[in-house]
Structure 1
Amino acid sequence: MSRRGTGTRATHQALPPAMRDAVDEFATHLAQVRNRSAHTVRAYVADLVSLLDHAVRMGCAEPADLELGVLRSWLAKQRTTGAAHSSSARRAAAARTFSGWAHRSGLLATDVAAPLATPKACRELPVVLRADQAAALVEAPGGGGTPAPDGAGLPVPRPEAATATPPEPASATGAAPGTATATPPEAATTTGAVLLRDRALLELLYATGARISEVCGLDVTDVDHGRRVIRVIGKGNRERTVPYGLPAQRAIDRWLTVGRPELAGAASDRALFLGARGGRLHPTMARRIVAGYARTAGLPPTSPHGLRHSAATHLLDGGADLRAVQELLGHASLASTQIYTHVSMERLRAAYRQAHPRA
């Protein structure tokens, strides 16, 4: 368990019994009735525990003691500790959601958070890669080419690093830093499989603009090779079908026929992408993979979500319809997709300023 999770649980257990029960019931409501994702449930519960802990310090013993002044005091305290506007907005939303639920459940006489104002979040334009930079990133595994299945001529990472980060560039002696020159054949084979996986992962992330959790959650059966589409389960358990192109198809085929069998084991089940030990690839590890290859390619710091931003922006730059991009990305609201039109407009302005003689 993470430090954050441990701290939250300790604070939760320190709450009065009535408030502990309210937290547990609210979490069940979010997961089973509102059908929120596990990540959203964790975030809202953490915010609620923080709120109730603050309320207890202000003399509240049960949810019925909550007042609007307590909620405002809690949000003000968060802002004084340097919380971002987006975090403050989410916490206000969590407080309103809990207050409404508690009122309907009879825990609160009135919906005390109804008048609570939401801090206006500053929406910064996402940083996106240029098309050539995105191409350099997805082609980074294997130095821009598809590695041989036996890993011949490829740098071999340390065994403990194989599950954490992409292979480091080879040194002058041909071996990765910190490794011996002589390498067992099975280690080279594993490295080749990992590079094939990484190429397929990067190609699919950029081709579909899918979230990293969605891609890591894919099973082999979610890939329709004939139609070149994947079946994605997104936020709120909403299912959508997303197409991908020929480069991603080639990378996936190579991974499934050559790379995946090398890593597959008892824990693999039907997972499309596997870790070096054979289990389903975890999103945290996938983020490290993307960041590692971005460094190797000399690109700006890049995350899987950065690739998602880049894919959406490049689609719009290429003339894609905004509604189509919304459907591809799985956005519930068109407003979430419209931010990419601002990115494209900024690029248009920059090109105009650079090229027009009277800009």
Structure 2
Amino acid sequence: MFIERFIRYLQFEKRFSPHTVTAYRQDLTQFNEFLAVDNLDVLTISHRDVRSWMLLMMEQGSEAKTVNRKLSVLRSFYKFLQREELSNTNPMIHIKAPKVPKRLPVVLDEQKMDSLLDAELSFESSFNGMRDRLILELLYGTGIRLSELVNLTDHDVNLYDQYIKVLGKRNKERIIPVAAPLIKLIKEYQREKLSQNFNNKASSLIVTNEGNNAYPQFIYRIVKLNLSQITTQEKKSPHVLRHSFATALLNKGADLNAIKELLGHSSLAATQVYTHNSVEKLKSIYKQAHPKA
């Protein structure tokens, strides 16, 4: 009952995305099932019960990042219960999150990425090949998220002023400039899409082989398949292209605040992680080139 009330709050007041709401529901359901084993109730538990759940997850192999995400969900849940005067206590007050080891964002080599996108034989000379190339060009050339690409429509592309309009997290809209070569590719793709005479009227800019709206797993497969041509690293996801976009801008001297706006980050702290990659690159250049290194 209380969980469903919180879920409705996330959906209709906070306006979280369906994907985020589903994740919150799953985490809270998992916690509730843990409590049910000992006939405990969400309103009467203490911080010791939350710690027991934390220990169980870590014993089962959950990473600190995963545990922290679930604890964040619980914090939001109990704050909601207190605000709605459904509970007088908050068991999360005495809970400390486990430390997460710092990991630098995985990025792709710029030269290899350029060689993939510029090579004539990298993509098939067909509508599907043109679409696959556009997917990689958009992700690498604008830094948009996978969900943002899936939701991008033809109307969100301004060919004349050369920008795309993106609806990001929590329905925040932002404008991202697009380079002239990418605008040209979008024009060619849209003409080719019209010539396919797909029976259905897909609203998305990116469509499947049958002309239906593209979906996340479809995009992910295309990205992974094409990145396999240039890298053996384990991560070959759309988010790696987003990391690579941000790192490339930073390496070329772009202002951190500008990168923050392009990525749609709510705080500068989220963007600052890319500065570590740039420092590591400088260290590498120093070691290779400096006579005293």
Q: TM-score range by the shorter chain?
A: over 0.9
TM superposition shift of 1:298 = 5.0
Alignment of 1:45-64 (within 5 A): 45-60=25-40, 62-64=41-43
Q: Name 2:99's counterpart in structure 1.
A: 120
The answer to whether structure 1 residue 39 and structure 2 residue 19 are counterparts is yes
Bigger radius of gyration among the two = 1
1:83-104 superposed Cα distances (whole Å, 9 cap, x missing partner)? 1111011011111111111222
Q: Is the 8 A contact 2:123 2:129 kept in 1?
A: no
- Show the 5 A alignment for 1:1-359: 21-60=1-40, 62-139=41-118, 143-144=121-122, 147=125, 192-262=126-196, 264-268=198-202, 270-297=203-230, 300-301=233-234, 302-359=236-293
Q: Provide the rounded CA distance (Å) in 2 between the counterparts of 1:195 and 1:333.
A: 37
Give the letter aligned to residue 251 of structure 1.
L
Q: What is the CA distance between 1:57 and its match in structure 2?
A: 1.1
Q: Residue type of the partner of 1:329? A: L
Distance (whole Å) between structure 1 residues aligned to residue 44 and residue 161 of structure 2? 57
Task: Give the residue type in structure 2 aligned to 1:291.
Answer: K
Q: CA deviation at 1:297?
A: 3.9
- For the structure 1 residues 356 and 53, does the alpha-carbon distance in structure 2 shift closer, same or farther, using more than 3 Å as the test? same
SS of equivalent to 1:325: helix
Aligned-pair CA distance for 1:308:
0.4
Code of the aligned partner of 1:56: A
Do 2:143 and 2:263's aligned partners in 1 also have CA atoms closer than 8 Å?
yes
User: 1: CA distance between counterparts of 2:123 and 2:51?
Assistant: 56
Q: Which moved more, 1:308-317 or 1:278-287?
A: 278-287
In the aligned structure 2, how far is the partner of 1:340 from the partner of 1:249? Answer: 27
Measure, in 2, the Cα distance between the counterparts of 1:27 and 1:195.
41
CA distance in 2, matches of 1:299, 1:197: 24
Report the CA distance shift for 1:234/1:112 in structure 2 as closer, same or farther (over 3 A).
same
Cα deviations by residue, 1:113-167 (Å, 9 ceiling, x for unpaired): 1222122222300111121122133346x514783xxxxxxxxxxxxxxxxxxxx
Contact 1:103–1:110 (CA under 8 A) maintained in structure 2: yes
Partner-residue secondary structure (3-state), 1:358: coil
CA–CA distance in 2 between the matches of 1:42 and 1:145? 36
Q: From the superposition, tell whether residues 263 and 87 of structure 1 become closer, same or farther in structure 2 (CA, over 3 Å).
A: farther
User: Which sections of structure 2, spanning at least 5 residues, go unmatched?
Assistant: none
Which residue in the other structure is 1:150 paired with?
Answer: none
Tell me which amino acid in the other structure corresponds to 1:261.
S
Shift of 1:207: 0.8
How many equivalent residue pairs?
Answer: 292
- Kept in 1: contact 2:146–2:216 (CA 8 A): yes
**How big is each residue's C-alpha offset from its partner over 1:215-266, in whole Å with a ceiling of 9 and x where there is no partner?**
1110100001111110000111110001111221121111011245316331
Distance 1:293 1:210 in 2: 18
- Which residue identity lines up with residue 45 of structure 1 in the other structure? R
Task: Rate the CA distance shift 1:290–1:110 in 2: closer, same or farther, 3 A.
Answer: same
Query: 1:324-355, CA deviations, whole angstroms, 9 ceiling, x for partnerless residues?
Result: 00000000111110010100110110111011
Contact between 1:263 and 1:277, CA under 8 Å: does it hold in 2?
no
Question: With structure 2 as the length reference, what TM-score do the two structures score?
Answer: 0.94
- Structure 1, gaps ≥5 residues long: 1-20, 148-191
Aligned-partner SS, 1:320: coil
Equivalents in 1 of 2:231, 2:82: separation in Å? 54
Q: 1:163 is matched with which residue?
A: none
Identity of aligned residues (%): 34
* TM-score, with structure 1 as normaliser: 0.77
**SS at 1:111's partner residue?**
coil
